[in-house]
Amino acid sequence: MSEAQNIQWFPGHMAKTRRKLRESLDLVDAVAEIVDSRIPASSRNPELAGIIANKPRIVLLNKCDMADPVATERWIKRFRDEGALAIAVDCKSGKGLNTFKNSVKELLADRLEAYRKKGMVGKPLRIMVVGIPNVGKSSFINRMAGGARAKVEDRPGVTRGNQWFKIDNELELLDTPGVLWPKFDDKDVGEKLAFTGAVKDAVLDTEWLAMRLLEILSERYMPMLSERYKIEKGDSYDMLCEVARKRGMVVRGGEGDTLRAANMLLSEFRTQKLGRITLEV
């Protein structure tokens, strides 16, 4: 069994982002927090609750088409039991986003009624979009805006500055850079962020990361691994070696090329080739 490694990744611009979040709160009516459906707990910034205080919040479980649908429904119930609106979406395909505006209106019903009484009917609702790097904020805004108006790139930490996007006469979105937190107190959280690409691969040993992923998947999704790679449950290093051999990834002497196998395994998990998987239940 491979031991969890302590992962730290906090570029300097992220500290600046936290300050901007606090400064921008007075400009918005609510916060839309985007999380990864595969890791709904680990992809939430624990500092966010303290930053946004009592501002109304809606949680979007993004990449729902990549996650276990039964687990996603349980998470939606969990968030709603805690008093937060939550919806499952896929920002790339647009799935579920047609319910976003009505969900926002439900969340801000009191605010809209107050506007009506003040004769401010038609005043657009302003929503701040937040989330950790690579979770899908820009894809969400592009879909809502009907075009690629926000920069999207499948690499952590691309969007660096706050930008406003007018969706229609009723809704405006404020995009913010993705922000992690200075220290991952729970090593498992750092691992899961690495599995999904929320932190840069360069900060970790690729083979170790793949071995940890195999350990976790073998507990709940071993049939998927067996079907995909024709392997049996066992020690994580042995499983990785077997993946390499089954895929013809061998080095001189016939040993499995574990580095190539590790890169392939992580890529196939991130591109859903293993199936719909949720790492946190």
- DSSP result, 149-216: -S---SSTT---S-EEEEEETTEEEEE------S--SSHHHHHHHHHHTSS-GGGS-HHHHHHHHHHH
What are the tokens at 165?
A: 């996007």
What count of residues does the chain have?
281
Tokens 């239940």 label which residue? 281
Question: Please, which residues have CB within 8 angstroms of residue 186's CB and are 6 or more apart in sequence?
Answer: none
Residue ranges of E strands in the chain = 30-36, 57-62, 85-88, 125-130, 163-168, 171-175
Q: What is the pLDDT along the chain (281 residues), one digit of tens a residue?
A: 555 555 555 555 566 767 778 888 989 999 999 999 999 999 998 888 888 888 999 999 999 999 999 999 999 999 988 888 999 999 999 999 999 999 999 999 998 999 889 988 888 899 999 988 788 988 999 899 886 454 444 545 444 456 889 898 899 999 887 666 656 667 888 889 889 988 776 667 899 999 999 999 999 999 999 999 999 999 999 999 999 999 999 998 889 999 999 999 999 999 999 999 999 98
d(CA 152, CA 187): 28
Angle, CA of 31, 150 and 23, to the nearest 5°: 40
* Maximum distance among all Cα pairs of the chain, rounded to whole angstroms: 79
pLDDT of residue 157: 47
* Residues contacting residue 144 through CB under 8 Å, at least 6 positions apart: 97, 100, 165, 167, 171, 173
**Which pTM does this prediction carry?**
0.84
In the prediction, which pLDDT does 148 show? 46
What pLDDT is stored for residue 224 in this prediction? 96
Residue type, 100: F
Residue type, 253: G
pLDDT score recorded for residue 101: 95
pLDDT in the model for residue 185: 67
Q: Which residues pair with 99 in a beta bridge?
A: none
pLDDT for 250: 94
